[in-house]
Amino acid sequence: MYTFNLFAILGGLALTQANPLKRDGPFAGVATFNDYADQFSKSGTVCGIPKPANQNYFGAAASDISGQISAGSCDGTIQGDQKNAGYNMQLCDPNDPTKPISTYIGPSCPHSQCPDVNPTCYRVDNLGEIAPVGQTPAPSSRVIGSVTVQIIDACPAGSAWNFCKNNVVPEIDPRQRCASAGTNELDIDEPAYQMLTGSGFVKGVSRNLDILITKVPC
């Protein structure tokens, strides 16, 4: 989200004798959603494309502090607990503190998993909506759908587009703003929501999803 290069996903967990294929998943994770066409028109994406060339795939970004789907961080990200990470909150717009100032330039992330270098794709299976604290998901949220996503962008915890969301009251769950160390988070293009849930994405209304993530060939 709003970065300029991309950090490589290095294959997840190391091989083990007990489960030699675990590096490819499936892994438990969280799906958030982003309008990449709109983002691309304003600030571009790490990979310089608004969507994958394969029309059956959807664009996505991976949190750079994920557990199994990301092996390191973009420049500017502090590893570990992001809630008290000490980011410069003066980069947040005083008129809308949930967003960065207009002159903000995001952190840099390597370009190595972009389609023209070493493309990375995942199958994403919907496990149901993430309900607000104290609530349970509606039965309709348990529609099980799946999509394939290709990484076209990054979602660094060290980006003000993410850490400024900490200014929302009540606070946005760190798992849903690329700020939870070890949580496998994919920020997926909004049109994928229809295939995952059976309903179109409505900004500010549609809930994020618990998902399973499995690495697949692109």
Q: For the segment 1-24, what is each residue's pLDDT rounded down to a tens digit?
A: 544 333 333 333 332 233 334 578
Query: Model-level pTM?
Result: 0.82
CB 166 within 8 A of CB 63: no
DSSP states along 127-156: EEE-PPTT----GGGG---EEEEEEEEEE-
Amino acid at 201: F
Terminal C-alpha separation, the chain: 21
Question: What does the alpha-carbon distance between residue 65 and residue 181 come to, in Å, rounded to a whole number?
Answer: 5
Tell me what pLDDT residue 82 has. 73
Banded pLDDT at 126 (limits 50, 70, 90): very high
| 48-90 tens-digit pLDDT | 999 999 999 999 999 998 989 865 678 888 877 776 677 888 9
Supply 197's token pair. 């849930």
pLDDT at residue 118, rounded to an integer: 87
Per-residue pLDDT tens digits for 169-214: 777 888 888 888 889 999 999 999 999 999 899 988 899 999 999 9
Cα–Cα distance for residue pair 213/178, rounded to 1 Å: 16
Give the C-alpha separation, 1 to 163, whole Å. Answer: 12
Dihedral over Cα of 198, 190, 52, 108: its sign:
negative
Choose among 35, 50, 51: nearest CA to 200: 35
Torsion of CA 159, 66, 63, 217, to 10 degrees: 150
Mean pLDDT, range 90-102, rounded to an integer: 93
CB atoms within 10 A of CB 203: 9
